[in-house]
Structure 1
Amino acid sequence: MNTVKRLKGLNLPPWQKKSLPFLIKEYGPVIILAILLGTSLDLYFVDKKMYMFPIRPFPEVLSFNIAFTFVGLPILVLVYLMMMKKVTKWGKIGIIIFLSLLMPIFERFSELFGLFEHSVDWKHIYSFYGYLVFFSFIFLFYQLTNKEH
C-alpha cells in the first residue's frame, strides 16, 4: 500500500475536512439570501418585461428559470465565497469586478442559446452594475453572519 507523505518544507496548514452541518451553518444563510434576491429580481424584471426565460423548467407555473436560481446561483455563490476567503482586500475587489464583468457575457451566450431574452430597452451594463451590487451585498452579509470564522 502506498502512502502519501507531507513535504517537510511545506508550510501549509493541514487540510481540514469540514462537516456538512458546519458548511450549512457557514454558507446556508447567504445561499438562501442569494436565492431570495435572485428570485425577487427575476420576478420583478420579468413582470416589467425587461427580460424573459423562453426555455425554463415548469413554464406553465413559473415565469423565471428555477434551474439557475436554485442550482446555478447557489453554486456560483458558494464558489465565490470560498474564493473570497482566500484573497486580500484588493483580490476581493478584483473578484467582484471580474465576476460582474463576466455575468453580462454569460447572459449574451444564454441569449444565443435561446435561454434568455432581453427587451430592446435592456443594456447589458445593467447586469454588470446589478451583479456588482449583488456580489458586494452577498459578501457583506457573509461577513456579518460569520464573524467568528
Structure 2
Amino acid sequence: MPIVKRSKKWSWRSSPKTPSFLRTKRAPAYISTLFFASWIGTYLDLYFVGNGWYHFPHRPFPAIFSIDLSFTLIGLPLFVTFFLYVMARLRPWPRGLFLITMSLFMTWIEKQAETIGWFVHSSEWKHLYSFVGYSLFMAMVWRFYRWVNLH
C-alpha cells in the first residue's frame, strides 16, 4: 500500500472571502497606504473648502464637518485600493498611462458630481486643476505604497 505524504510546500489558504490583496505579505502596505490616502484627501478637502475653492452642499453631519466624510473615508479608499491593485500589475510605461487615464476619469467624475449637486466649485476653478491635483495625488500615493512595500 502506498503512503501519501503531504508536500512541505503545501499550506492552508486563507478564507476565500478574504480579498487576495489582504492574503499577501503586502497587506500592511495596502492598509497603511489607504490610511495615508484618506488622511491626505481629508486635509486637502479641508484646505480647499476652507479657502472657498469648492464645497459640498449635501454631506453627512453638515453642522460638524465642512467636508464630505463619506468620500474621504469610503470612496477614496475604494478608489485607491483599485488603483494600487492595477498599478502593482503594470509595467512602468503602462503605469504612467494608467495614472493619466485615472486622473482624467476622476476629473470627469468630479464634473458629474457637480451636475448631480454633490459638489460645487467656485467660479474661478478650472478643471485642469483637478486633473493636475489627481495626478499628483495618485503619484504620491503610489510612491508611498512603494516606499512602505520596500520597508
* CA apart distance, 1:26: 2.5
* CA apart distance, 1:23: 5.8
Q: 2:35 aligned to 16, 32, 36, which one?
A: 32
Aligned residues: 133
Q: Does 1:86 align with 2:82?
A: no
Q: Residues 62-101 of structure 1 correspond to what in structure 2 (within 5 A)?
A: 62-101=65-104
Q: Does 1:146 align with 2:149?
A: yes
Give, in whole Å, the separation in 2 of the partners of 1:26 and 1:37. Answer: 16
Q: Residues 101-120 of structure 1 correspond to what in structure 2 (within 5 A)?
A: 101-120=104-123
Give the equivalent residue in structure 2 for 1:5: none
Give, in whole Å, the separation in 2 of the partners of 1:95 and 1:36. Answer: 23
Give, in whole Å, the separation in 2 of the partners of 1:60 and 1:20. Answer: 40
AA in 2 matched with 1:78: T
**Normalized against structure 2, the TM-score is what?**
0.83
Give the equivalent residue in structure 1 for 2:59: 56
Give the equivalent residue in structure 2 for 1:134: 137
Runs ≥4 residues deviating over 4 A: 16-24
- Give the root-mean-square deviation of aligned CA atoms: 1.8
Give the equivalent residue in structure 2 for 1:4: none
Give aligned-pair identity as a percent.
Answer: 37
Give, in whole Å, the separation in 2 of the partners of 1:61 and 1:82. Answer: 34
Structure 1 residue runs without a partner (length 5+): 1-15
Q: 1:19 to 1:96 in 2, by over 3 A?
A: closer
Give, in whole Å, the separation in 2 of the partners of 1:17 and 1:87. Answer: 17
